[in-house]
Amino acid sequence: MNKDTICAPATAPGGALGIIRISGPQAIPVADDLFHAANGRKLASQTGGNLTFGTIHSSDGETIDEVVISLFRAPHSYTGEDCVEISCHGSSYIINKVLEELVDSGCRMAQAGEFTKRAFLNGKMDLSQAEAVADLIASSNKTTHQMAMSQLRGGISSRLSQLREQLLKLTSLLELELDFSDHEDLEFADRSELLELTKTIDNHIARLAHSFETGQALKQGIPVAIVGKTNVGKSTLLNALLKDDRAIVSDIHGTTRDTIEETMDINGIQFRFIDTAGLRKTDDEVEQIGIERTIQKIKQARIVIWLLDQRPTWSEIDEMHELSKGKKCIYVHNKADLIDIHKFNPYILPLSMISAKTGKGISNLRKRIFEEAERAGLTLNANEIIVTNARHYDALTRAHSHLQRVLDGLHNNLSGDLLSEDLRLTLDTLAEITGGQITPNDVLENIFKHFCVGK
Ligand SMILES: Nc1nc2c(ncn2[C@@H]2O[C@H](COP(=O)(O)OP(=O)(O)OP(=O)(O)O)[C@@H](O)[C@H]2O)c(=O)[nH]1
Ligand SMILES: [Mg+2]
């Protein structure tokens, strides 16, 4: 348990209101020292969940502000400790003055994340939920909000606890084999059964680890590269998609030298549009570096918009396919305003017509980009767990490799004690994600819970 009482501003400066948070054993008496309740009652005499209006005073008698105090009593608070939240006016003078008084009365300024750290240490949430709090605060669109909310509500934790149950079952089966191997009348689980169970668990872990790539794309914006020859209107298209004059547009071939990235929401999903240097043969060294970057960006993209302004040759079509193999591609013909559509000879590629300059076809293109993201599995399903945190991904990858060793061991008919060791490592590694601890007692309990010895 923490003995310190900590305090910190909980709101960003500049708003109409500011909230100062205090947590710890002295939170209530310290607040009582500064606060004069309008109803004359001390906070110490009140139950948790109460709001009290009054004034805050400095030790030298200055009235600092009129405030509302929210009182939370342990364990029914965010941190699990006694907590006080002072809602005052958002002036940085007021907030600093109140904090100064609190520190003079024995509080310590909280470190970054310390309230949430205490919530974890006091068992109010597990580690992955604590991390979700930071993600929730950072969320800027529907998807990142939804992912953080799912994690905060224990989405990952409950999936991990299902996997843990299955791993414990597997461990129990193996330990049973070890403990009673000299009892010839006892039957043990078939090794092929163990193999099947291990494979199922491993698939789940691998799938979770794999979802990290999607999680990253959703968090940072799904990368969409806009590529094509010079002067086809890539920068004009970027500007049209963003509804902003972001990139330089000119009729000089090779205007864009470096890549330009900008994010934008479509239907609550964040996309990262990347304008690139036009593809052409050039002796210009700088332009050549730009073109190499374009090729890199195609590789990193999930969706590639191939922009054209004239009919491509067969070899150009082959080249486009080759460069963007494995990507979701959208072929778009730009400068539709210059074409007489009745005389236009459509080409082999399935194609959208737009005019980046006049805006024609852009909203359809946006729709199409969203559909491609859906097709690539980059939109959220209600029950899907997506890993967005690198620490979780790291633990899942390590758990997967421990379990691979168990699988190899089962294939090679290794003894149960060697397999148990890797299983334990898998369990411990997964437990790192939620910050839980596995004790050998769990294994024992599980043996007697699931099996009846002597049957
Ligand atoms: N008529 C017409 N002109 C367009 C359209 N889109 C772009 N342009 C013009 O085409 C020229 C090239 O546009 P950019 O957007 O700079 O082309 P880019 O593909 O980025 O060119 P680079 O950066 O050199 O590779 C400019 O003069 C634009 O105004 C369009 O839809 N219709
Ligand atoms: Mg350009």
pLDDT tens-digit map of 192-213: 888 999 999 999 999 999 999 9
The pLDDT assigned to 186 comes to 53
Give the Å distance between the CA of 229 and the centre of ligand 2: 10
Closest residue by CA, ligand 1 atom 3: 335
> Looking at residue 2, what is its pLDDT?
58
Residues flanking ligand 1, CB < 6 Å? 230-236, 249-251, 253-256, 278, 334-335, 337-338, 355-357
Spacing, Cα 76 to ligand 2 middle (Å): 57
CA atoms within 13 A on the CB side of 412: 10
Distance CA 214, CA 202 (A): 19
Q: Which residues on neighbouring strands pair with residue 88, listed in sequence order?
A: 18
pLDDT over 80 at 1, yes or no: no
Q: pLDDT tens for residues 321-337?
A: 999 999 999 999 999 99
Q: Which residue has the tokens 């992912």?
A: 147
Q: pLDDT tens digits for 287-322?
A: 999 999 999 999 999 999 999 998 888 899 999 999
Nearest listed ligand to the Cα of residue 236? 1
Residue 321 Cα to chain centre, angstroms: 32
Whole-angstrom CA distances from 289 to 238, 273, 281 are 21, 20, 12
Centre of ligand 2 to C-alpha 429, Å, is 48
Query: Hey, whose CA ends up nearest to atom 11 of ligand 1?
Result: 251
Q: What pLDDT is attached to residue 433?
A: 87
Q: How many CB atoms lie within 10 A of CB 341?
A: 8
What's the pLDDT at 370? Answer: 96
Over the chain, what HEC string results? Answer: CCCCCEEEECCCCCCCEEEEEEECCCHHHHHHHHEEECCCCCHHHCCCCEEEEEEEECCCCCEEEEEEEEEECCCCCCCCCCEEEEEEECCHHHHHHHHHHHHHCCCEECCCCHHHHHHHHCCCCCHHHHHHHHHHHHCCCHHHHHHHHHHHCCHHHHHHHHHHHHHHHHHHHHHHHHHCCCCCCCCCCCHHHHHHHHHHHHHHHHHHHHHHHHHHHHHHCEEEEEEEECCCCHHHHHHHHHCCCCCCCCCCCCCCCCCEEEEEEECCEEEEEEECCCECCCCCHHHHHHHHHHHHHHHHCCEEEEEECCCCCHHHHHHHHHHCCCCEEEEEECCHHHCCCCCCCCCCCCCEECECCCCECHHHHHHHHHHHHHHCCCCCCCCCCCCCCHHHHHHHHHHHHHHHHHHHHHHCCCCHHHHHHHHHHHHHHHHHHHCCCCCHHHHHHHHHHHCCCCC
Average pLDDT of the residues of the chain? 89
pLDDT band at 408 (very low <50, low <70, confident <90, very high): very high
CA dihedral 118, 124, 129, 134 (to 10 degrees): -40
Nearest ligand to residue 278 Cα:
1
**CA 7/CA 423 separation, integer angstroms:** 43
- Going from the C-alpha of 200 to that of each of 96, 373, 421, 431, 434, the distances in angstroms are 56, 28, 19, 19, 21
Residue 340's pLDDT is 75
CA atoms within 13 A on the CB side of 374: 10
Q: What percent of the chain has pLDDT over 90?
A: 69
User: What is the mean pLDDT of the segment spanning 63-88?
Assistant: 97
Residue 375: how many CB atoms within 10 A of its CB?
11
| Amino acid identity at 435 | G
Q: Pick the residue with more confidence: 334 or 14?
A: 334
Tokens of 385: 């767990």
> Is residue 9 left, alpha or beta, with left meaning phi > 0 and alpha meaning psi from -120 to 50?
beta
Cis bond before residue 29 (omega within 30° of 0): no
Lowest mean pLDDT among 14-28, 144-158, 373-387, 434-448: 434-448
Give the sign of the dihedral formed by CA 30, CA 36, CA 42, CA 43. Answer: negative
Q: Output the pLDDT for position 379.
A: 83
443: pLDDT strictly greater than 60: no
Average pLDDT over residues 170-182: 74
Q: Work out the pLDDT band at 347, boundaries 50, 70, 90.
A: low
For tokens 């979802």, the residue is: 211
Taking the centre of ligand 2 as the mean of its atom positions, its distance from the CA of residue 249, in whole angstroms, is 6
Read off the pLDDT of residues 19-67 as tens digits, 9 standing for 90 and up. 999 999 999 999 999 999 999 999 999 999 999 999 999 998 899 999 9
Nearest atom in ligand 1 to 256's CA:
23
Name residue, tokens 């399903």: 381
Residue 125 has pLDDT above 70, yes or no: yes
- Which whole number is the average pLDDT over 256-280? 95
Percentage of residues in the chain having pLDDT higher than 70:
90
Q: How confident is the model at residue 179, as a pLDDT?
A: 62
Q: Two tokens at 340?
A: 């007489």
Give the dihedral sign, CA 203/208/209/214: positive
Confidence grade of residue 346 (pLDDT, cut at 50, 70, 90): low
Check: pTM over 0.85? Answer yes or no: no
Give distance in angstroms: CA of 249 to centre of ligand 1. Answer: 6
User: How far is the C-alpha of 21 from the C-alpha of 19, rounded, in Å?
Assistant: 6
Q: What are phi and psi of 79, to 5 degrees?
A: -85, -15
